[in-house]
Amino acid sequence: MIDNPSMPFAANPASMPELDEDQLLHVSLGPQHPSTHGVFRMNVVLDGETVVSLKPVFGYLHRNHEKIAEGVTYLSSMPFTDRLDYICPLTNNWAYAQAVEKLAGIEVPERAEYIRVITGELTRLINHTAFVGFFLGDMGAWGSALMYAFREREKILDLFEDLTGARMMSNYMRFGGCRNDLPDGWAARASVLVNEFPRFLDELENLVTGNEILIARTQNIGALPKETLINGGITGPMLRAAGVAYDIRKAEPYGIYDRFQFRVPLGTTGDCYDRLMIRFLELRESLAILRQALDQLPEGAYIHPKAKIRNFKPPVGEAYARIEGPKGELGFHLISDGSAKPFRYRIRPPSFINLTLLEDMCLGLDLADVVLILGSIDIVLGEVDR
């Protein structure tokens, strides 16, 4: 019935090895466990120490965000998008604003596009540094790496607080631009941060990359063939770590990404080590984009002068728009019936879809590797469960 070669043998009983049911151990991992990055559960079946089946269980943080959004106006959903991937609220804002702009055909002024790129790439810095910290925590190096990562994150959050009024729940983008202009001296402070960041990055990289334990724990763990990853809908750093050059900023440049010089780092094997290193390399490219964007930042309007805030009703139609979020492809699919509320509001959550192949990655490995593989996917449960 299922002839997709990428299916694990749980769905393909013919390929299942002979197992003695009496000898199997069923472990319910989570939902309250630091390594599950929130409230996430996995039903794992172990043969000795080896994983023979792994079924993720979702929904502990489910609040039916999509249904709530159908009952309120378009703008009222903007603060809710902050709470999807709460590490990266500004890229969520951006993806949603872009989808509504596509749906209603709204232009975005140049300065607003630059502000979006700057805040979006700063968000990527936050996400990837925090990822490194959490990933090392999953490995048992709890504390040090995360402390350094959060120290730098706090500097960026200070910038966000001055710009949006909130450290994390920013609610900053608007349809046709941004909510407010950059405060005086903000761009200069951001430049200082961007110039100082590489030194921290060297330090962090130095701290982790040559470490023998890290190499022993992460190499040759969790790799899958490229074709399987694409077929499984895996996007973002996970896909690029396996050597697939697919970055939406290059493949389908949205906003003004076609103006910047940057490279798309690629891994070779796609194991957990590559997934960690790809984040380091992407951080450096984000810094390159930030430097160019801050240099070129033009004067002008931060929101389109005719952008409608009150009584906003997009024309009948639908739109799907996506951005390269820090965790992967973040898309919004909106259907408008001409009223002030969306008829259908759908989020394409990268963390949720990146979990599709979790079982395939873990089969045949040890239970301790499951924690690392889950960490390397980089999930946030606010987005997985919506």
Partner 1 sequence: MTPDHSAILARLQSALPAARLAHLRNPGPSGQDSLLVAPDHLVAVCQFLHNTADLAFDLLSNVTGVDWPEPAKADAVAVPTEGTAPATCGFLEVVYHLYSTTHRMGPLVLRARTEDRANQVHIPSVVAVYRSAEFQEREIFDLFGVKFTGHPDLRRILMWDEFLDHPMRKDYVAPDDYQYEPTPHDAVLEKAQRHYPAPH
Q: Could you tell me the smallest distance in angstroms from the CB atom of residue 353 to partner 1? A: 6
- Which tokens belong to 31? 């939902």
Residues 6+ apart with CB under 8 A from 227: 6
Q: Could you tell me the smallest distance in angstroms from the CB atom of residue 277 to partner 1? A: 22
Residue (232 or 375) nearer to partner 1, CB: 232
Residue (133 or 177) nearer to partner 1, CB: 177
Going from the C-alpha of 182 to that of each of 170, 201, 256, 300, 341, the distances in angstroms are 14, 26, 18, 11, 30
Q: Could you tell me the smallest distance in angstroms from the CB atom of residue 347 to partner 1? A: 9
Whose CA is closest to 170, among 129, 215, 203, 123?
Answer: 123
Residue (167 or 255) nearer to partner 1, CB: 255
Q: Could you tell me the smallest distance in angstroms from the CB atom of residue 380 to partner 1? A: 16
- Which tokens belong to 135? 């990933």
Residue (147 or 251) nearer to partner 1, CB: 251
Residue (126 or 321) nearer to partner 1, CB: 321
Cα separation, 170 vs 89, in Å, equals 6
Q: Cα dihedral angle (333, 94, 131, 29), rounded to 10 degrees?
A: -30
Residue (147 or 343) nearer to partner 1, CB: 343
Q: Could you tell me the smallest distance in angstroms from the CB atom of residue 337 to partner 1? A: 6
Whose CA is closest to 346, among 99, 76, 150?
Answer: 99
Residue (24 or 343) nearer to partner 1, CB: 343
Q: Could you tell me the smallest distance in angstroms from the CB atom of residue 222 to partner 1? A: 16
Residue type, 57: V
Going from the C-alpha of 31 to that of each of 24, 61, 143, 380, the distances in angstroms are 21, 11, 21, 13
Q: Could you tell me the smallest distance in angstroms from the CB atom of residue 64 to partner 1? A: 6
Residue (10 or 168) nearer to partner 1, CB: 10
Q: Could you tell me the smallest distance in angstroms from the CB atom of residue 218 to partner 1? A: 24
φ and ψ at 282, to 5 degrees? -65, -35
Q: Could you tell me the smallest distance in angstroms from the CB atom of residue 252 to partner 1? A: 7
φ and ψ at 121, to 5 degrees? -75, -35
Residue numbers of the site for partner 1 (CB under 8 A)?
1-4, 6-7, 11, 58-59, 62, 64, 66-67, 102-105, 227-228, 230-235, 244, 246, 251-252, 314-322, 329, 331, 333, 335-337, 343-344, 346, 348, 352-353, 355-357, 385-386
Residue (51 or 115) nearer to partner 1, CB: 51
Going from the C-alpha of 207 to that of each of 28, 133, 156, 202, the distances in angstroms are 33, 11, 21, 8
DSSP H helices, the chain, are: 65-70, 78-82, 89-104, 110-139, 144-164, 186-208, 212-218, 226-231, 237-241, 248-251, 272-296, 350-354, 358-362, 367-377, 381-385
Going from the C-alpha of 256 to that of each of 56, 108, 294, 349, the distances in angstroms are 38, 10, 13, 23
Q: Could you tell me the smallest distance in angstroms from the CB atom of residue 288 to partner 1? A: 22
Cα separation, 382 vs 386, in Å, equals 6
